[in-house]
Every structure is written in C-alpha cells, then in structure tokens.
Chain A
Amino acid sequence: MKRYVATRAATMFGVLMITLLITISLVGSNMDTILKQGIVFQVRSEITENPAIAESFSSVDEFEEFIQGQIDQRIKVLGLDEPWYSPQRIGLTMYKILLLDFGHATFLTSDEGSSDVKDIIFEKLPRTILLFTTATIIISIIGIFLGALSASKVGSVIDRITSSFAIISSSFPVWWIGMLMIFLFAFTYQIFPARATPDIPSSDPGYIGSLLYHMALPLITIVMIGFGSWAYLVRNFMVGIMQEDFIMAKRTIGIKQKKIIYTHALKNAAPPIVTILALSLSGSLGGAIITEAVFDWPGMGRLYFEAITVMDLPVIIGATYILTVFFLVSIFIADLLYGYFDPRVRTGQ
C-alpha cells in the first residue's frame, strides 16, 4: 500500500510540473513582451514626473540613450534579458508558482481592489466551491437513490424514465440549458435574477440570503442536467452487482429485496461510486468555466474567462495551476479510495 501511495503521489507531482511547464511555454513569449512594455512605460513615466532629469541632458540623443540604459538595467535586474525558455527563468517561475506566488495581475483586480493574483483567486475560489460542491452533493444524493431504485426494478416505468432522462439530459450542454433557464425564469417569468452576482456588498447582513437567492437558478440548472447520468451510472453498477452469485445466494436464503439492495448491493457498488464522486467534485471546477460565464457567477470559471479575454497572463497561469492542483488532488484521493475498497487495483494486475 505504501509503495502504491508513493508512486501515485510521485506521478501526480510530475503531472503538476508538466502542466505548469506546458502552461508557461504556451504563454511565456507573450508574457515577456507584456513585462517589457510595462518596464518601458514605467521608466518613461518616472522621467516625465521628474523634469530635472530631462533638463540635465544637452542633446536628445544623449537623453534617449540614458532612458534606454535605464530600461536595459531594469530588464537585467528582473532577469528578462534572457529568453523565457532559459532554464534559470523557467526554474524560478515554477518555483515561485509552487509557493503560490503568482505575481500581480495586469488588468484584473479582486472586489477589494487588490491586484495580487493570489488574493483574486482566493476570493473567487470559495464561491465556485459553494455553488458546484453543493450542486454535486445534491446530484449524487438524488442519483444514488434514483439509481438504486431503478436497479431494484429493472425494466419498470421508473427505470425506463430514469434511463431515458439520463441519456437525453447528457446530450444537452449545461450552458445552453442555462441560457434557456435565464430566458424562461429571469425574463419571461421574473422569478430569479438573471445575473448571479449578488448586488449588495459582502459586509451587508443580508448578503448570505442574497447570495443564496442568486445561486438558485444556476444550482437548479446544474442539478437538473447532472442527476440523470449519475442515476444511470449507479443503476448500471447495481445491475451488474445484482447478478453476482452472493446476491443470488442472499435472495435464496430469503432476505428481503429492499435490504439486499440498500445494504449489500450498494456497499459493493461503493468503490466506483466514491471514485466518480471524487472525480466529479473536482471536474465540476473545470467545467464551471462556461456555466459561470453564462450565469455571470463571480467564481473561478468567470475569472478564468475574463483573464483569457483580456490576456491577463499571471491570472491565467495562477488559475490553471489551482485548477490542476484541485483536479490532481481529487484524482489522487479517488485512486487511494479505489485502492482501499478494491485491493486488486493496488498490485496493478
């Protein structure tokens, strides 16, 4: 078991590093250009603020030379004279990112006005977790019960409705259903607000109530689209298990069908269910980008989308890193849980 955990952890860390490396190399060259432009702008504005410097030069050429010298000096201090792909720079960048030092955002700020990427991300993250974790938990509860119910009555009306609902709902994109829900319940029948961002400051005592009210429409949408496929998965696991010999044996002894399903069969279906739960908890964070953009929910997904539209690279790198970490941690936990429930996995046979 120890060896299993160690190899998994090592793989995950490797993956994290590779992800970081790919992200940096994809945006690296753009990042350099932006940083250098920033330095030029900074130097020039400092000199225009201080007219004494400009007066001390006799000719324009000499003055320009001085400015260029200043720019080059600062570029050298920051290590920007080397290309972004030089080992030292990549190493330094990755080390900083590992320690959650993402630097300052170019355009975006947090609600409090801080431009530190770490502040921005840790302000948005809880909101995404609030919406999507709640949704995933509701989905899994409904899904497990509905799935167990349909597995106990294979071929019945409930089973057929669940299966067909699962198939149909899984082929609709969540964000499109979101658009429809906004269209129906925010504009045609004005029950819920169209924008999910609460309109009162977070210090107000009514903030939580307002947040929950604004959360309702996206939550309903996500649950509506999600629970069908969950129920279908659980049903399929259960149907498989119900055909196992030990269930048959329990049935012949005369144990009630209900008891068999909810205690014996469900327990045996636990490993895959727990795995999927862990994966979907983190998967929802990544899939949230489009859904949050539709509902204007002020979480990680919308932050990511905004960062990409204005090409705010430090935010993009930071958000990708955090999303990857969450994703990897949940894969890791899912792996461990699976190995715990099903010892065959550990030996890798």
Chain B
Amino acid sequence: MSSITPQEIKQEFLRSKIGIVGIIILGILIATSIIAIIAIPVETFQEWNNPGNWILYPKVAIPVWVNIFMTEKIPEHKIIETPTIQTNSEGEVMLLSHKFGVNFDYEFFPNDFIYVFSSEYSESALLQMSVIRPDGIKLELLSTSLPYSNSKTIHSERIFSTDESIKKNLLLQSNIFNFNLEQLSAEDIVFSKRDTNEPLKGNYIFSIDTYSINSEIQVHESKLIIGGKAFGIMGTDELRRDLAVGLLWGTPLALFIGLVVSIASVIAGLLYGIYAGYKGKKTDEMMMRFNDVIYALPALPFLIILSVTISNSIFVLVGFLMIFGWVGIAKVARSMSLQIKTRGYVDAANMMGQKDSKIVLKHILPQLLPYAFASIAISVPAAITTEAGLSFLGLGDPSFPTWGHILHDANTFGAASRGLWWWIMPPGIMIAIAGLAFVFIGSALDAIVNPKLKR
C-alpha cells in the first residue's frame, strides 16, 4: 500500500485511454439524462402504463430511420396537429375549415386514418370531411351532424377510417375507380390509384369543414392521424408506447440506481471493514462472522423474495441491493486497515489519546480513498444489471420505465419470435453502454491503485 496523491491519480488517469473513453461515455449518459429530465415532462413517464395516453400512436411500429435503408418505403405514422385554418361567414351560417396536407410517398397503404377533434358550439353543427387527392379528384368522406345542444357545449370525438358511413360515401363514388371497392377498407380506397388498387403517391389534402348556424364555433383540438408502420426514432411497442421516451427516461434511472447503490455500499463496506480491522480481537472476529453470514446468503433468490414479499418500489430495491453490495469491500478494507494500523502515525495518534472514530476517519480512511473510487466504479455495472434482471423477471417497479422493464414487456409479448428487434436491441445496448462506461473508468483506476497489473 503505497500512498498516492490525488494529483498523481489525476495525471495517471488522464494518460489512460480507456479511462478517458469511459469518462466520455459517462458524460454522454449524463447529458442524455439531463435532456430526458428537461425535454420529457415527468408527467409523460408517469403515464407510461396508461394506455389512454398512447392511443394516437401506432402498434409495434418500426423506427423511422429504417426507411433510409429500404427500397420499398414503409409508411410513416403521421400525427398532424397544425392544420391551415380558414373561417367564412355567410349570413347566419358560419364555416370553419381545417385543411391538413399529407405528403404520402410510400409503397404500402397506411393502416388507417383517424381525425381527433373537440369543438365548442351551441345549437347544431355539421361536420364535413373530404379529401383532395394528388390527381385532383375530390372524395367526399363523411357528412355528419354533431349532437344538438341548447347551451354552449364542448364535443370531443374520434372519427376512424373504419367508420361505416365513410365506406358508404366511398361506395357512392365508386364510378371513379376501375375496380370493385366492396372488399376494400376506406384507407385502401382513398390512397389508391384509379385504375389498379395500388398506393398513389403525392400530396393529399384532407379538409374538415364545420358549419354552424347563429353561433360562434371554436375548435380546441384538431388532429389528423395517418396510421403507418414506422414511428419515431426508436419505434413503438405492442402497447403503442413510444420506446424513445422509455429509453431516455431509463438513463437517469439506471444511473441513479447504479451510483446510489455502489456509493452507499462502498462507504458502508469501507467504514465497517476499517473499524473491524482497526479494533481487532473480539470485535473483529464478531464483525467478520456477521460479514460471512451476509456473504453466504444467495443474493438473487433473496432479492426476489424480498421484492415479492416486502415491496418492489425502486427506492426499496436500492436498499436491498445495498444489503448485498458492501460485503466484499468490507473484507478488503479490513485487510488494508490491518496493514495501515501498524504504521507509526496511527500509533502516535492513538498515544495522543485521539478518539477511535477520529483515527478511522482522519488517518486510515483517506489512505483507502483511491481504492474506494475504483470499487465504486467497478460495482456500478453489477447494480445496474441486477436491477435490470429483477425488472426483466417482472419484479421491478412497474411504474418506472427502466430498461429491464422494457425488456420484460418485450419478452412477454414475444418480441424475439416476432422479429421486433427494435424492442429488444436498444435497451440491452443501453444497459451494456452504461455498464461499460463504469467498467472502463474502474479498470483505469484499478490499474493505478494496483500497479502490479499494469506492466
């Protein structure tokens, strides 16, 4: 045990390539966490398990960027929230017209289209939906009256492309198309070429006109959704959840679990081990026997039983992980403290009548700090993977989208057998990257603390 000054450690560390790579990865992860916390409001991730929150998203959609590598483009799922708005009033009739432009450029038909709106009116109102296709043909889709009300009312509705009346309206215009429309769904007709039933590329304009008589009409929400099979940077899962949100929020959670568990266990282990080693004799014997007991407990089975019987909250889980984390460090710290306590200055301090706690904290602990930092870095990946493993078994905190939890869902919905690689790969890679960052930093520090391995 040679003592190393902090300056030397810093110099040595900056010389090690692997350590710098680790620091860079860790920096990126921390930046990601900060972005996640700032950019994605906490409410979004609290809504992770609320299906209503994700209803407008597609099911198991592939990430959008896959289209770059595909010759046959997969239709993107589009949520258009910014229509061009026009208002007209002619005498008593007032017209509010929302127009959505859609650039459709894919080899496949969209899954569906949905119009979501909520409008405020009094008495009666009429909603008309039509589409102008790239070839200039205008198709009438729907004409429906909104429920009558004497006073001012807010009406919210979702109009789906599976609506019977849309199909009926399209069948009335069947002379436009040169093939039989009976068996086709609305979106397959609207987006089809005239001569054959193949997708027609180009700009479509969906217009939704709302008429009202004698009253103001206001539209609070107006969205057009063209259902596709590709969405977002990371795609979506079976429950329509945007995986990018889960993956981003998983980063701060994983860092939190990893760092809190490892820092707390290293501190606990150090203090325990140093005290046992410093005191020696009976105290040492007793403390080490207790250490043996914890060491011999099978960790994973116990973690499982604890999380099933007591609580699976993420904070309680952190505590459980700490129970099993400090043991190994305590053993090493004890043997190091056995060596240090024989040094002259510890004896001197003892002679001067300093308190035990002061000797442990002021004279022995600082000597072990380099070792402590190395062990913190090395024990982080284990904490992260153990938590991920528990979540994967479905025993983690269900209210937080951790990486392990995403993989658990992927496994339950048979993602591997269905070939949904974007659901399986990213969470595991994130776990590995987070682990690697700390392993790199740890092994760089380890090489400084144990110079024997360096050569």
Contacts and interface: CB of A to CB of B under 8 A. Distances in A.
B343 to A, nearest CB: 17
Contact of A243 (B289, B297, B452): B452
Interface stretch (A103-111, A114-122, A179-187): A179-187
B24 to A, nearest CB: 16
A4 interface: no
B419 interface: yes
Interface stretch (A58-66, A130-138, A164-172): A164-172
The dominant DSSP class at the A interface is helix
A254 to B, nearest CB: 22
B440 to A, nearest CB: 7
A172 B304 contact: no
Q: Which of B381, B410, B428, B440 has the most CB of A within 10 A?
A: B428
Interface string B303-319: 01110111000000000
Interface string A310-324: 010000100110011
A295 to B, nearest CB: 11
Interface stretch (B151-159, B192-200, B387-395): B387-395
Top 3 closest A-B pairs, CB basis?
A171-B435, A176-B428, A183-B416
Given A240-B452, A286-B298, A180 B392 contact: no
Given A15-B297, A182-B417, A308-B304, 11 more contacts: A19-B298, A177-B428, A179-B428, A180-B424, A182-B416, A187-B416, A188-B419, A290-B392, A290-B393, A308-B393, A331-B296
B411 A294 contact: yes
B296 A323 contact: no
B293 interface: yes
A14 interface: yes
Given A154-B455, A173-B385, A327-B296, A194 B436 contact: no
A27 B431 contact: no
A309 B159 CA distance: 41
A199 B50 CA distance: 39
Interface string A144-164: 000000000010000000000
Contact of A194 (B300, B416, B435): B416
Interface string A12-29: 101100110011001100
A309 B393 CA distance: 9
Interface of A: 11-12, 14-15, 18-19, 22-23, 26-27, 30, 154, 167-168, 170-173, 175-177, 179-180, 182-183, 186-188, 194, 236, 239-240, 243, 286-287, 289-290, 293-294, 304-305, 308-309, 311, 316, 319-320, 323-324, 327-328, 331
Nearest to B305: A26
A213 B287 CA distance: 49
Contact of A12 (B296, B305, B310, B416): B296
Contact of B304 (A186, A287, A304): A304
B403 to A, nearest CB: 9
Contacts of B421: 183
B82 to A, nearest CB: 39
A320 B300 CA distance: 10
Interface string B420-455: 010011011001100110011001000000001101
